[in-house]
Chain A
Amino acid sequence: MKPLKIKIVSFKKGVHPRDDGKSLSRSSAIRTAPLLERYQVIVGQNIGLPPRVVVKAGEEVKKGQLLAEPSGFVSAALHSPTSGKIEGIIDIPGPMGIPAEAISILADGKDEWGELPPPLDWQTVSGETLKARIQECGIVGMGGAAFPSHVKLSPPPEKKVDCMIINGAECEPYLTADHRVMLEETEKVLLGAAILGKAAGVKNTVVAIEVNKADAIEALLARSGEYRVGVVGMKVQYPQGAEKQLIYAVTGRKVPTGGLPADVGCIVQNVGTAVAVADAVTGGVPLIERVTTITGEPVVTPGNWRLKVGTPVVEALKLAGGVKRDPGKLILGGPMMGFAQRSTDVPVMKNTSGILLLDKAAISQYQASPCIRCGRCVDGCAMQLLPSPLSCMIEADRFQDAYENNVMDCIECGSCSFACPARRPIVQQIRRAKAEIRNSLNHKKK
C-alpha cells in the first residue's frame, strides 16, 4: 500500500485489537437483499420519543409510505420498507432482549413506491428546509445510537457550530459496511456531507476515516474537491470513532464532561447517515434500508448487504449462506459495543451496522479473577478514567466513591474489558453503577 498523502490524526490512549476480523467482509461488494415475505419494523427505533403509529392492521401501504409520525422534536418518522399489507402491530423479540412493539408488513411482492416528496436543490434551499426534509424522511444516526439527525443539526442558538465531521472511522472490529459505502457510493457520501454541512450552516465539513481504509480515502480524496469537503485520515485505534474522541482527533477540541459536541462547535454524523441524507434530499427517499455487514467466523459467506429495515436477522443470515457451525453468540452491532441477542427473530433496525456471529471457542465462558492492577485498562481508557479502581469500588457496592471518580463519564467503549488480562467485566459493572447512581439521584430529586 502506498503511503497516503493526508494528515493522520488520533486521540490519546485506546486499544488496538490485533486481529480485527475486517478481512472477512472487507472485499465483498454491497449486494441488495431480495424481497422477503414479511418485514417487522420496530416502532421505537430512535433515541428519544417513539413515533406515533399512523397505520392500522389490514391497511395497504406503499413502499416509503409513512408508518409512524414523529411524536415530538426528538423523534423520527418510520416508513414502510416495501409495499404490502399491514398484518398488525405485534410484540416481537427486541434488540435489548425485551419484547418490542413492531409493525408487521406482509409484502405484496410488487415493491411499489408510494408518493415521495419532491427532490430539493440543496444548494438553493435553506438549511431549515433541509432539516425538515431530514426529519420527514426519518433519518437517524446510523452508526449505532439512532439519535434523530435533525436534532443534532439544530444545536441551541447560543452554541456556534463551525465544524461538521462525517464519521467514517468504523473503528469497531469486523464491521465493513461504512467502508464499502465510502468506496462504492463515494459521491453520495460527499454529497450528503455537503448537504449536512449546509443544513447546519457550517463552513468546514470533513470526512474522517481510519487509515486501514486506504482505498476509501483515495476514492474520497479524488472527488472531495467538487463538494468542498475535507478528508482526514486517522490512526487505527479503538475507539477512534467515538464522538468525543473523533472530535478531539480531528479538531483538537475536548468536549467537556457531560457536554455535547455542540459545546465545542462540532456536529458528528455517520457516513451511512450522509448517504441517507443525500437520498432524502435529492430523491425524497425516506430511510428504509441500510448497508449492514453480516459477518463472523461461523458465517458461510460474510458480506455487506443492503437490507430493508425490518428484515429479521434470521433472514439476513440466510442471505449469507447460514453458518458453518453453531455459533456461540449473536451480536447486533460490532463486537466492542454491540448487544448480544437472545433470539434470531430480531429485525434489522436503522442503526444495525452489523450482524455478527462469534464462535463458541472465541467467546468461551470466562471467569473474572481479581484485578492485578496491571494498568492496561488505564492505558486503554479513551476517557482517561481509572477503570480498574472503579470496578473494584463497584464490586464493593461503593457507588458514591465511583461517582466521585467520574464513573458517569464512561462512554462504555469496552476498551478496558477488552484489555483486561483478568477478564473482569468492567463495562458491565460500570453500567450497573450508572444505573444505581441514576436511581439514587432520582430518589434525591423526589
Chain B
Amino acid sequence: MGSTIFLSAVVLIGIGLILGAAIGVVYKFFEVPVDPRVELLLELLPGVNCGGCGRAGCADFARALIGGEAAPAKCPVASQEVVAQLAQVLGVEIGRAAKQVAVILCGGDLTHAKGQMLYNGVDDCISASQVAGGPKGCRYGCLGMGSCARACPFEAIGIVNGLAVVHNEYCVGCGKCVDVCPRGLVKLVPVDAKVHIYCKSPEKAPAKMKVCDIPCIGCRKCVKAADEGQFTVNGFLVEVNYGDYPRPDVIEKAKCPKNCLQTCRGHEEFEYGKSIGESA
C-alpha cells in the first residue's frame, strides 16, 4: 500500500514537472504580451456591443482606449461612475459632455401629414424614400417605416401612428439612429433640453402647409418669446439652439400657431391624440 502511494506520488510529480517545464519553455519563447488593462476595461464596459462608440463592440473599444484612440466618455451607455472607473484604469481625464438623448424632429404622423400616397414595398425608410420620394407628401418628414426603431439596440424608439417617437427613459444617446435616417431627422440633444421644434423642412411656409398640418412656418413667435440666441432662424425654419436651449415655459409664452413647438413629452402625447397642445 505504501509503495502504491509512493509510486503514484512519484509519477504525478514527474508528470507535473515535465508539463510545467514545457509550459514554461513555450511561454518563454512565444508569449505575446497583453496589456492586462484590456481585461479590466472589458469587465467595466457594458458589454452590449452596441457600437455607439463607433467601434466594433466593447472589446474593440477597450483596445482603442488602451491605444489612446478613444476617450472613456465615448461609450454612450456607461454611467458616469463607470466612465470614471474607466478613466481611473487608464489614468486619463473623463472628457465627457452632458448626457444626450435622441430626438426625431418631425411631427407629421398619419393624422397631420398630408398628400399621402398608397405605398407597397419594403417596410424600411431608405427603401421607401427611393420609391418616388416616399408615401408622405413632405419630402423632409419622417417616413414612419421604423428604420431608426430597428437600429436602436435599446428599443427606445417606437412608431406611433406612422411617426417615429423617442422614449427618453430608454434612450442612452448612442446615436445609432442618427445615421440610419435617410431624412436626417434624428438629432442628439442634451437630455435637459426639453423643448424642440418638430419640423425640419427648409421649404417655404405655403409649400409646407400643403403637405403638413403642423409644420414650422417660420412665424418667429417662439423666437420673440424666448431669450436671445435660444432659437436660430434658418431660412423658413426656426431651430432650437441646443447650446443654449429654452426652458419648457416658452411653449406657453410662444403660443406656436402650428403646435410644432413642443416638449418631447407633450409631443408624444400630442401624437397619441391626447391633445395637450391643441388647447393652445
Contacts and interface: CB of A to CB of B under 8 A. Distances in A.
Interface of A: 96-99, 339-342, 363, 365-366, 368, 397, 425, 428-429, 431-432, 435-436, 439
A432 B122 contact: yes
A187 B239 CA distance: 61
Interface string B229-272: 00000000000000000000000000000000000000000000
Given A342-B132, A429-B127, A431-B127, A99 B122 contact: no
In the A-B complex, the 7 residue pairs with the smallest Cβ-Cβ separation, listed nearest first, are A97-B133, A97-B132, A432-B127, A98-B133, A365-B120, A432-B126, A342-B132
A360 to B, nearest CB: 10
A341 B130 CA distance: 12
A340 B139 contact: no
A98 B141 CA distance: 12
Contact of A340 (B122, B126, B131, B150): B131
18 contacts: A96-B133, A97-B131, A97-B132, A97-B133, A98-B133, A340-B131, A340-B132, A341-B132, A397-B150, A425-B127, A428-B121, A428-B127, A428-B131, A431-B127, A431-B130, A432-B127, A435-B126, A436-B126
B122 A429 contact: yes
A5 B126 CA distance: 49
Contacts of B117: 342
Most buried by B among A368, A428, A431: A428
Given A339-B132, A365-B118, A98 B127 contact: no
B124 interface: yes
A428 B118 contact: no
Interface string B87-121: 00000000000000000000000000000011011
A182 to B, nearest CB: 31
Contacts of A363: 120
At the interface, is chain B mostly helix, strand, loop or mixed? Answer: loop
Contacts of B124: 432
B122 A425 contact: yes
A432 B130 CA distance: 8
B139 A366 contact: no
Interface string B172-198: 000000010010000000000000000
Contacts of A368: 122
A388 to B, nearest CB: 15
Contact of B139 (A98, A425, A428, A436): A98
Contact of A99 (B121, B139, B150): B139
Interface residues of B, number: 17
B185 to A, nearest CB: 16
Nearest to A367: B120
Given A97-B134, A429-B127, 8 more contacts: A97-B139, A98-B133, A340-B131, A341-B132, A425-B121, A428-B130, A435-B130, A435-B182
A341 B122 CA distance: 17
B110 to A, nearest CB: 17
B132 A428 contact: no
Interface string B125-149: 0110011111000010000000000
Contacts of B132: 96-97, 339-342
Interface of B: 117-118, 120-122, 124, 126-127, 130-134, 139, 150, 179, 182
A397 B147 CA distance: 11
A397 B125 CA distance: 13
Nearest to A339: B132
B147 to A, nearest CB: 9
A429 B123 CA distance: 10
Nearest to B117: A342
A165 to B, nearest CB: 30
Contacts of A99: 139
A98 B132 CA distance: 7
Nearest to B150: A397
B49 to A, nearest CB: 15
A366 B120 contact: yes
B184 to A, nearest CB: 12
A35 B120 CA distance: 37
Most buried by A among B117, B122, B150, B182: B122
Contacts of A96: 132-133
A337 to B, nearest CB: 13
A97 B130 CA distance: 9
Contacts of B130: 428, 431-432, 435
Nearest to B54: A443
A122 B57 CA distance: 64
Most buried by B among A340, A368, A429: A340
B122 to A, nearest CB: 5
Contacts of A431: 127, 130
A288 B193 CA distance: 55
Contacts of A97: 131-134, 139
Contacts of A436: 126
Contacts of A428: 121-122, 127, 130-131
Contacts of A397: 150
Contact of A342 (B121, B133, B150): B133
Contacts of A366: 120
A74 to B, nearest CB: 23
A99 B124 CA distance: 22
Nearest to A365: B120
A135 to B, nearest CB: 31
Contacts of B139: 97-99
Contacts of A429: 122, 127
A253 to B, nearest CB: 32
B206 to A, nearest CB: 12
B212 to A, nearest CB: 15
A343 B121 CA distance: 19
Most buried by A among B126, B131, B132: B132
Contacts of B120: 363, 365-366
Contacts of A365: 118, 120
B273 to A, nearest CB: 27
B183 to A, nearest CB: 12
A38 to B, nearest CB: 20
A310 to B, nearest CB: 20
A403 B167 CA distance: 34
